[in-house]
Amino acid sequence: MKDQSKYKFKVSDFRDLLDSQKKQCFLTGRELTPENTYAEHILPLGKGGLHSKENIVLVIDMLSKLKRYYTIEEIIEMAFDILSVKGKEYGIKVSRK
Protein backbone atom coordinates (compact mmCIF):
# COMPACT_ATOMS: atom_id res chain seq x y z
CA MET A 1 0.00 0.00 0.00
CA LYS A 2 1.24 3.48 -0.85
CA ASP A 3 2.08 6.01 1.83
CA GLN A 4 -1.26 7.84 2.10
CA SER A 5 0.32 10.99 3.53
CA LYS A 6 2.14 11.58 0.24
CA TYR A 7 -0.86 11.11 -2.07
CA LYS A 8 -1.64 14.10 -4.29
CA PHE A 9 -5.01 14.33 -6.06
CA LYS A 10 -4.11 14.98 -9.69
CA VAL A 11 -6.02 16.21 -12.72
CA SER A 12 -5.81 12.69 -14.16
CA ASP A 13 -7.48 11.35 -10.98
CA PHE A 14 -10.25 13.93 -11.38
CA ARG A 15 -10.79 12.94 -15.01
CA ASP A 16 -10.82 9.23 -14.10
CA LEU A 17 -13.48 9.85 -11.44
CA LEU A 18 -15.53 12.02 -13.79
CA ASP A 19 -15.53 9.21 -16.36
CA SER A 20 -16.19 6.41 -13.85
CA GLN A 21 -19.09 8.39 -12.35
CA LYS A 22 -20.43 9.12 -15.86
CA LYS A 23 -20.28 12.86 -15.07
CA GLN A 24 -22.87 12.41 -12.33
CA CYS A 25 -22.78 13.35 -8.65
CA PHE A 26 -21.91 10.36 -6.47
CA LEU A 27 -24.84 11.06 -4.12
CA THR A 28 -27.57 12.65 -6.25
CA GLY A 29 -26.91 11.55 -9.82
CA ARG A 30 -27.14 15.19 -10.90
CA GLU A 31 -24.95 16.34 -13.78
CA LEU A 32 -21.44 17.46 -12.84
CA THR A 33 -20.16 20.61 -14.51
CA PRO A 34 -16.93 22.60 -14.07
CA GLU A 35 -18.88 25.13 -11.99
CA ASN A 36 -20.54 22.69 -9.57
CA THR A 37 -18.07 19.84 -9.01
CA TYR A 38 -16.10 19.18 -5.83
CA ALA A 39 -13.92 16.24 -4.82
CA GLU A 40 -14.65 14.90 -1.33
CA HIS A 41 -13.64 11.88 0.73
CA ILE A 42 -16.11 8.98 0.96
CA LEU A 43 -15.18 8.41 4.60
CA PRO A 44 -14.28 11.90 5.88
CA LEU A 45 -10.73 12.38 7.14
CA GLY A 46 -12.14 13.52 10.50
CA LYS A 47 -13.88 10.14 10.84
CA GLY A 48 -10.77 8.09 10.07
CA GLY A 49 -10.84 8.10 6.27
CA LEU A 50 -7.61 8.02 4.31
CA HIS A 51 -6.49 10.61 1.79
CA SER A 52 -6.32 8.18 -1.12
CA LYS A 53 -7.70 7.95 -4.64
CA GLU A 54 -9.97 5.08 -3.56
CA ASN A 55 -11.58 7.28 -0.89
CA ILE A 56 -12.47 10.24 -3.14
CA VAL A 57 -15.68 10.90 -5.09
CA LEU A 58 -17.10 13.86 -6.99
CA VAL A 59 -20.21 15.62 -5.67
CA ILE A 60 -22.17 18.73 -6.54
CA ASP A 61 -21.29 21.92 -4.71
CA MET A 62 -24.44 21.93 -2.57
CA LEU A 63 -23.32 18.65 -0.98
CA SER A 64 -19.60 19.29 -0.69
CA LYS A 65 -19.68 20.68 2.85
CA LEU A 66 -21.99 17.91 4.06
CA LYS A 67 -19.80 15.22 2.46
CA ARG A 68 -16.67 16.77 3.95
CA TYR A 69 -17.89 16.22 7.52
CA TYR A 70 -20.49 13.44 7.36
CA THR A 71 -20.59 9.88 6.13
CA ILE A 72 -22.99 8.80 3.39
CA GLU A 73 -25.10 7.03 6.00
CA GLU A 74 -25.36 10.18 8.12
CA ILE A 75 -26.39 12.27 5.10
CA ILE A 76 -29.05 9.73 4.11
CA GLU A 77 -30.44 9.67 7.66
CA MET A 78 -30.57 13.46 7.67
CA ALA A 79 -32.28 13.52 4.25
CA PHE A 80 -34.83 10.97 5.47
CA ASP A 81 -35.56 13.07 8.55
CA ILE A 82 -36.01 16.21 6.44
CA LEU A 83 -38.34 14.42 4.04
CA SER A 84 -40.28 12.90 6.92
CA VAL A 85 -40.91 16.35 8.39
CA LYS A 86 -41.15 18.58 5.29
CA GLY A 87 -41.82 16.16 2.43
CA LYS A 88 -45.62 16.43 2.52
CA GLU A 89 -45.35 20.14 1.67
CA TYR A 90 -43.65 19.10 -1.60
CA GLY A 91 -45.73 16.03 -2.38
CA ILE A 92 -43.06 13.60 -1.15
CA LYS A 93 -43.87 10.69 1.14
CA VAL A 94 -41.17 8.46 2.62
CA SER A 95 -41.24 5.32 4.73
CA ARG A 96 -38.77 2.78 6.05
CA LYS A 97 -38.97 -0.80 4.83
pLDDT tens digits in sequence order for the chain, 97 residues long? 555 668 999 999 999 999 999 999 999 999 999 999 999 999 999 999 999 999 999 999 999 999 999 999 999 999 999 999 999 999 999 998 8
Is residue 14 included in any domain, yes or no? yes
Number of domains in the chain: 1
Is residue 96 included in any domain, yes or no? no
Domain residues for the domain of 30 are 4-70
Cβ neighbours of residue 43 closer than 8 Å, sequence gap 6 or more: 49, 50, 55, 71
CB count, 10 Å around CB of 65?
Answer: 12
**Which stretches does DSSP call E strand in the chain?**
37-41, 56-60
Q: What global pTM score does this model have?
A: 0.84
Is residue 16 included in any domain, yes or no? yes
